[in-house]
Amino acid sequence: MINKEKPPSLNGHVFLAKLITQYAHIHERTVGKGAQEYIREIGLRTGEWLERFYEDDQNHWSIEKYADVIVDIKNSIGGHFRIAEVFPDRVVVKATACPFGTVVQDAPHLCMMTSSVFGGIAARQFGYGKVSLRERIALGHEGCEVAIYFTPDSLEPGDEYENLHVTPHYGDPFNWEEETISMLNEELKKSDHMIQTLLEELEELKKERRK
C-alpha cells in the first residue's frame, strides 16, 4: 500500500530528494529502459568512491565489514538500514526508510543505485556480487529488504556484478571514459528531444483551446 503520510518538514535533504526523483522520473519517461542503465553506471562509480571512506590496512574486507559498510553508507545519507542476516555466501539488509524518503515512489528505478552500489562493492571486494531487491519502499512496501550474494547461485533472481573496472589508487572513479560519456550523452539527447516535443505539443493544445 502506498504511504500517504503527511510529508516531512521542508529542509535541504527533502528538497534535494524531491528534485532528484523528479528529474529521474522525467528522464525515465523520455528515454525508457536506458534510464536504468544510466543510474547503474553512476551507482558503480559512486560505490567505488564511497569505498575509499572505509579503507584500512587490510587488503580484503571480511563479510562482516562489508555488511557494516553498506549499512553505514545508507544511514549516513539519510536511510534507516540494519543488518538482518550474515552468511558466508550472502548478506541480507533491511530498511524502514529510504535516503530519498517516500518520494522515491516517483522514480522506483532509482533503486538501481542501491543495487549497483551494493553489488559493485561486493564485486570489487569478493570478485562477484548479485543483488536481489526483495522488497522496496519505492514500490509501496513498508520497508526494503535486499540480499547480496557473493557467489553465483540460482536461489533467486538479481542484478549480477563481476569483472568491474577498478580505478588505480588515488585515481578518480568519476573520470569518465569517452565511450561512456558518449553513451550517456546520447541518452540525454533523447531526453531533451522528448521534452522539447512535449512542450511543442502543449503549445499546440493551448492554441487549439484559444480557437
184 with 105, same domain?
A: no
114 with 202, same domain?
A: no
Instruction: Tell me which residue has cell 553498506.
Output: 70
User: Helix, strand or coil for residue 118?
Assistant: helix
Instruction: Tell me which residue has cell 556480487.
Output: 129
108 with 186, same domain?
A: no
Is pLDDT at 117 greater than 60 in this prediction?
Answer: yes
Is pLDDT at 120 greater than 90 in this prediction?
Answer: yes
The percent of residues in the chain predicted with pLDDT above 90, rounded, is 42
pLDDT tens digit string along 50-85?
Answer: 998 998 877 789 999 999 999 999 999 899 999 999
Q: How many CA atoms, within 13 angstroms, populate the side-chain half-sphere of residue 20? A: 18
**Beta strands in the chain, from DSSP E residues, in sequence order:** 80-87, 90-97, 128-135, 144-149, 159-162
Q: How many CA atoms, within 13 angstroms, populate the side-chain half-sphere of residue 205? A: 6
CATH number, domain of 145, equals 3.30.1380.20
67 with 135, same domain?
A: yes
30 with 102, same domain?
A: yes
Residue 190's domain spans which residues? 177-211
Q: Is residue 95 part of a domain?
A: yes
Would you place residue 14 in the very low, low, confident or very high pLDDT band (cuts 50, 70, 90)?
low
Question: For the purposes of burial, counting CB atoms within 10 Å of the CB of 118, is it exposed (0-12), middle (13-18) or buried (19 or more)?
Answer: buried
Nearest to 71 by CA among 63, 79, 61: 79
pLDDT tens digit string along 129-187?
Answer: 999 999 999 999 999 999 999 999 878 999 999 988 777 655 566 665 665 656 666 65
198 with 94, same domain?
A: no
125 with 205, same domain?
A: no
What pLDDT, on the 0 to 100 scale, is given for residue 208? Answer: 74
The identity of residue 123, as a single letter, is A
User: In whole numbers, what is the pLDDT of the chain averaged over residues?
Assistant: 81
What's the pTM? 0.74
Would you place residue 3 in the very low, low, confident or very high pLDDT band (cuts 50, 70, 90)?
very low
pLDDT tens digit string along 30-55?
Answer: 666 667 788 888 889 899 999 989 98
State the CB neighbour count (10 A cutoff) for residue 119: 29
Q: Cα angle vertex 158, ends 153, 174, to 5°?
A: 115
118 with 27, same domain?
A: yes
Mean pLDDT of 176-200: 63
How many helices (H) and strands (E) the chain has is answered by 5, 5
Residue 114, CA distances (Å) to 64, 104, 117 in order: 19, 12, 5
158 with 118, same domain?
A: yes
